[in-house]
Amino acid sequence: MSGESTSTRGAATPARGADGAPRGGKRRLPSGPDSLLGILAKIILLGIVDAVAAYALFQLAVGEEWLVFAISLVVTVGINWIYLRKDGLPAKYLAPGVLFLLVFQVFVMFFSTYIAFTNYGDGHNSTKEDAISSIQLSALERVPDSPQYAATVVEDGDELLLLVTDPSGAVGLGGAEQPLEPVQSAQLDATGKAIGLDGYTTLQFGDILGRQGEVSSLVVPLTDNLDDGTLQTQDGSTAYVFKPRLTYDESADTFTHVGTGVVYSDSGEGTFRADDGSELGTGWKIHVGFENFAKAFGDDNLRGPLLQVVVWTFAFAFLSVITTFGLGLFLAIAFNRADLKGKRFYRILMILPYAFPAFLSGLVWSGLMNAEFGFINNAILGGANLPWLTDPILSKVSVLLVNLWLGYPYMFLVCTGALQSLPAEAEEAARMDGASAWMIFRAIKLPLLLVSLAPLLISSFAFNFNNFNVIYMLTGGGPRFSDTTFDIGHTDILITMVYKVAFGTGAGRDYGLASALAIIIFIVVGVISAISFRKTKALEEIN
Amino acid sequence: MTVQIRSGATRRAFTLSAVGASAAIALAACGGGSTEPAASSAPADGGASATITMWTDAERSPALKEIADKFEADKGIKVDLVVKDFAAVRDDFITQAPSGKGPDVLVAPHDWLGTLVQNGVVAPIQLGDKSAEFAESSVQAMTYDGQVYGVPYAIENVALVRNAELVGETHESFDDVVAAGQSVVDAGDAEYAFLLGLDPKQADPYHAYPLQTSFGAPVFEQGDDGSYDVSQLGMNNDGGQEFAQFLADNGDKGTRVFNSNITGDIAKEKFLAGESPYFLTGPWNVPAIEEAGIDFSVDALPSAGGEAAQPFVGVNGFLVSSYTKNELAANEFVVNYLSTEAAQDALFDQGGRPPALLASFEKAADDEVIKAFGEIGAEGVPMPAAPEMQAVWADWGATELSLIKGNESDPAAAWTKMSENIEAKFNG
């Protein structure tokens, strides 16, 4: 490759000369493999890449994220290798694309696949360690009616202690190792609060701030017996008497309720559970194997409506593509006439809906389609009372209409582009031969258009298959089915159903289930697209 | 020729791809961070910074800025206010807190508490003797599972807003209210006897709740201390069935007091246009009503079913993350600064919602409207904060909508079926 690249360069210079381009200093400059500017650009850009990478690697090392560190390191070295060596032109072209593919596609896919096999969701949010510390945190309760102590943090050597004043003015001192003891000779401020003691350094607010973790985890036993409660402070100036409601036994990995003695042990499902089946609120993330997939297919309540939803999803995606393409193509042809005046103005009008966020237009249209107050019934249909959004059939029509409004500008744009790239000679020749406009369109233009547009139509199908916005914002999937307890309705497509099943029912969100369902949809869309793309090859053979 | 193009293209491609690569690496670094959290941002423990981060929304941010500035002047701790899209705050907080990328403090309505506690992302705080300075219901709302998790600052609830030009006096029962409204309509002075904004997909169980409680059908059974027993659905009873019948009788196919086509926006618009004497709404619509120049007063909603009509009370407050590395600074700010009269006054000036701090409320209660909303709220019930509530809304709303539209031939049976569905979700 290296030899090839120099030889082509050698050929390049005479070619330039042959074209009659000015010969001059430029010709002598490229003595190395690249021009000076190129080398400079290479140094600067690679420098930026490496600087960013070095920063990221440093942060990862500090955070002890060794796996990500290793991956980032390999990627960085790889990039340097690709761009520093002389040959390997294809790699130079491909590297950024491949990287983006890895980050935005492959990583996301692997991550959702990973989530699909866990119980990640509300209540199973983080690691077991986090869950234990958060249960301990929320189980620590202030002893009812116990006094509120004014507190000062003092230091003896390295050890932190709390100097506390109870409401009666009695002063006590205690630390993690020594229970609270009364002290007599403390210095008091104007309010009677002890603020210092001989032999101890009083920590000022600024000092405390630097040692927040130590101060807030400082536990001062009231007596030798921990069960009598402990003094703790959360803000460095006020301390309260706390008693835990639950105690954690590290060796047995169990929580015990102090009052009732009920023992909560690891249930194997990411929660602490007692024998009577009650669970502690906060759980953690675990791997659950195929449980989420089983849930998706195994629920009797879900299977019936699921079929209806699947049928409607296909119908919706297919009809959306057909209607938007039909209207877009029609308008594109209509506005493609050479003798039309103000073409640009019309075209801008045409693509306005495309510039409108789909999310918003769903909401706006749901207002326009209100049965009693909506613009459509009142102004266009002269006061009709059509239930656009609440009748099972009309709501499907509404969804398609709004999606047509949203989608035709895109089709208009691509059709206009494709039309303008068609050879004018073909049309002229056909006209010479006496073909009608319709025949020219059907036999010449459409087949030629479809060759270039078919892939776009397929991707448009895939897009509409998952067109969450328009459904969710317009009808919310409603009107509801009456034969299921799930919140699923007549206009729900698979993706909105997934959203509702995973996030709308039960007590909390279930990212694991959502990921599992998303993977199933992904497979469905992938298979359909693969088949369609294979079919479109037949179209290309027309050429 | 081709050769020439190629050598030019090499350089351009190189420039482009190197830029791409640097971006990709940066992204890879971020992306990597989100897989295995706790990654980069914060330095290792111990070196706590003198900055705390707080998530808020655009509306509250200016008032909080004042308090944050005072805090910085007093204590030397900077409060970094991050304005977030409020709709996304809860989920972002739940997913980001464990990775160490969440804020130290956030503003939240109390009914998020259940989910936040379930995910272990908020830490209890100690109000101590300060709790007596707050309205009892607001502290109660911020209490979940026996622990106080937030400093409350505002209370909001719905009440009956009456156009005093159209109806001069108050009434003792809901029927009288409707009758009075109807007589105004009959006289040709208004178009609707009563306005209740309904979501076209979900009706609005929140707004309709005082009507429902007046039939003795609370969403969950409530203990004497006001806490909910979320394992016991309270509305699956005779009162609930009567309420279902009531909705159907007054819905689209009945008296049309409740109209399924009137959304919240339309109801507001009609009331502002003086087309109805009554509007069941909250303090958030008061500024618009004042602006429209309507002479109005705020009344408690009279009972429809015989028992007290208790609205849901929502309490906004400040919470501390359980993953914060600045426990002390965060607690100091939340417990000792945001609970002060000055802070609560500033927040009231900005948001117009009745303050939770009694001293601030008394000042705000010079305004008759705030006073009325506050007093009605004191008789209300806190919205349940339990995660189980999420399983209730969808079925509850859909059934109410169906009843109001007159789609149910047997309202009582529809109500019972709804209750069974919800109970099935708890158990499933």
Confidence (pLDDT) at B360 = 93
Residues of chain A contacting B36 with CB distance shorter than 8 Å: 65, 67-68
CB under 8 Å to B356, separation ≥6 — which residues?
A: B134, B135, B138, B152, B153, B154, B155, B315, B317, B344
For residue A124, the chain B residue with the least C-alpha distance is B119
Phi/psi region, residue B169 (left: phi>0; alpha: psi -120 to 50; beta: rest), is beta
CA-based nearest distance B333→chain A, Å: 9
Q: Do B145 and A48 touch (CB under 8 A)?
A: no
Confidence (pLDDT) at B184 = 93
For residue A215, the chain B residue with the least C-alpha distance is B328
Interface of A with B in 224-243 (CB under 8 A): 234-238, 240
Q: Do B25 and A72 touch (CB under 8 A)?
A: yes
Residue B120 identity: G
Taking the C-alpha atoms of residue B300 and residue B311, their distance in angstroms, rounded to an integer, is 9
Average pLDDT of the residues in B406-414: 92
- Give the count of Cβ contacts less than 8 A between chain A and B: 276
Confidence (pLDDT) at B2 = 35
Q: Do A367 and B3 touch (CB under 8 A)?
A: no
Confidence (pLDDT) at A3 = 37
CA-based nearest distance B272→chain A, Å: 16
- The pTM of the full predicted model, rounded to 2 decimals, is 0.78
Summarised one tens digit per residue, pLDDT across range B375-399 is 998 888 889 988 888 778 888 998 9
Band of pLDDT at residue B37, cut at 50, 70 and 90: very low
Taking the C-alpha atoms of residue A238 and residue A256, their distance in angstroms, rounded to an integer, is 29
Confidence (pLDDT) at A33 = 58
pLDDT at residue B25 greater than cutoff 50: no
* A211 Cβ under 8 Å from any chain B Cβ: yes
* A485 Cβ under 8 Å from any chain B Cβ: yes
Q: Do A75 and B28 touch (CB under 8 A)?
A: yes
Q: What angle do CA B397, B399, B401 make, to 5 degrees?
A: 70
- At A523, which helix (H) or strand (E)? helix A511-540
Q: Do B17 and A206 touch (CB under 8 A)?
A: no
Largest CA distance in chain B: 94
Summarised one tens digit per residue, pLDDT across range B300-343 is 999 999 899 999 999 999 999 999 988 889 999 999 999 999 99
Q: Do B18 and A45 touch (CB under 8 A)?
A: yes
Structure token pair of residue A331: 């308008």
Residue extents of the structural domains in chain A: 36-116, 142-244, 254-279, 300-522
Residues of chain A contacting B424 with CB distance shorter than 8 Å: 485
Q: Do A212 and B265 touch (CB under 8 A)?
A: no
Interface test with B, best of A58, A64, A103 (most B CBs within 10 A): A103
Residue B390 identity: Q
CB under 8 Å to B120, separation ≥6 — which residues?
A: A125, A126, A130, A131, A134, A135, A137, A138, A282, B322
* A153 Cβ under 8 Å from any chain B Cβ: no
Confidence (pLDDT) at B428 = 61
Residue A399: closest CA among A486, A295, A489: A489
Average pLDDT of the residues in B342-363: 89
Residue A412: closest CA among A509, A518, A498, A332: A332
Question: pLDDT per position in chain A (543 positions), as tens?
Answer: 333 333 333 333 333 434 444 444 444 444 455 688 888 888 898 999 999 999 999 988 887 888 889 988 998 999 888 888 877 788 888 888 888 898 888 888 898 899 999 988 888 888 898 899 888 888 888 888 888 888 888 888 888 888 888 888 888 898 888 888 888 888 888 888 888 888 888 888 878 888 888 888 888 888 887 778 888 888 888 899 888 888 898 888 999 988 888 899 988 888 899 888 888 888 898 999 888 888 877 777 777 888 889 899 999 999 999 999 999 999 998 888 778 888 888 888 888 888 888 778 888 898 899 888 888 898 888 888 888 888 899 999 999 999 999 999 999 999 999 988 888 888 888 888 888 888 888 888 888 888 889 889 988 998 999 899 899 888 888 788 877 777 888 999 989 988 887 776 666 788 898 898 888 888 888 888 888 888 877 766 655
Q: Do A208 and B328 touch (CB under 8 A)?
A: yes
Distance of CA B177 to the CA centre of its chain: 27
Confidence (pLDDT) at A508 = 72
CA-based nearest distance A347→chain B, Å: 33
Structure token pair of residue A10: 């050698």
pLDDT at residue B401 greater than cutoff 60: yes
Give first-to-last CA distance, chain A, whole Å.
36
Return the higher-pLDDT residue of B183 and B32. B183
Q: Rg (Cα) of chain A, in Å, rounded?
A: 36
SS (H, E, C) A334-364: HCCCCCCCCHHHHHHHHHHHHHCCHHHHHHH
For residue B13, the chain A residue with the least C-alpha distance is A93
Q: Do B325 and A48 touch (CB under 8 A)?
A: no
Confidence (pLDDT) at B164 = 93
Q: Do B118 and A15 touch (CB under 8 A)?
A: no
Burial of B424 (0-12, 13-18, 19+ CB in 10 A): middle
For residue A64, the chain B residue with the least C-alpha distance is B39
Q: Which of B28, B266, B328 sits opposite A216 (nearest CB)?
A: B328
Confidence (pLDDT) at B251 = 92
Residues of chain A contacting B326 with CB distance shorter than 8 Å: 212
- Predicted ipTM of the assembly: 0.75
CA-based nearest distance A250→chain B, Å: 19
Residue A423 identity: P
Taking the C-alpha atoms of residue B425 and residue A506, their distance in angstroms, rounded to an integer, is 5
CA-based nearest distance B164→chain A, Å: 26
Q: Which of B4, B32, B46 sits opposite A71 (nearest CB)?
A: B32
CA-based nearest distance A416→chain B, Å: 30
Interface of A with B in 511-530 (CB under 8 A): none
Q: Which of A63, A79, A97 sits opposite B39 (nearest CB)?
A: A63
Residues of chain A contacting B115 with CB distance shorter than 8 Å: 122, 508
Residue A230: closest CA among A344, A152, A141: A141
CATH class of the domain defined by A142-244: mainly beta
SS (H, E, C) chain B: CHHHHHHHHHHHHHHHHHHHHHHHHHHHHHHHHHHCCCCCCCCCCCCCCCEEEEEECCCCHHHHHHHHHHHHHHHCCEEEEEECCHHHHHHHHHHHHHHCCCCCEEEEEHHHHHHHHHCCCEECCCCHHHHHHECHHHHHHCEECCEECEEEEEEECCEEEEECCCCCCCCCEHHHHHHHHHHHHHCCCCCCCCECCCECCCECHHHHHHHHHCCCCCCEEECCCCCEEEEEECCCCHHHHHHHHHHHHCCCCCCCCCCCCCCHHHHHHHHHCCCCCEEEECHHHHHHHHHCCCCEEEECCCECCCCCCCCEEEEEEEEEECCCCCHHHHHHHHHHHCCCHHHHHHHHHHHCCCECEHHHHHHHCCCHHHHHHHHHHHCCEECCCCCCHHHHHHHHHHHHHHHHCCCCCCHHHHHHHHHHHHHHHHHC
Q: Which fold has domain A36-116?
A: Methane Monooxygenase Hydroxylase; Chain G, domain 1 (1.20.58)
Interface of A with B in 103-122 (CB under 8 A): 103-104, 107, 111, 122
Q: Do A282 and B120 touch (CB under 8 A)?
A: yes
CATH class of the domain defined by A300-522: mainly alpha
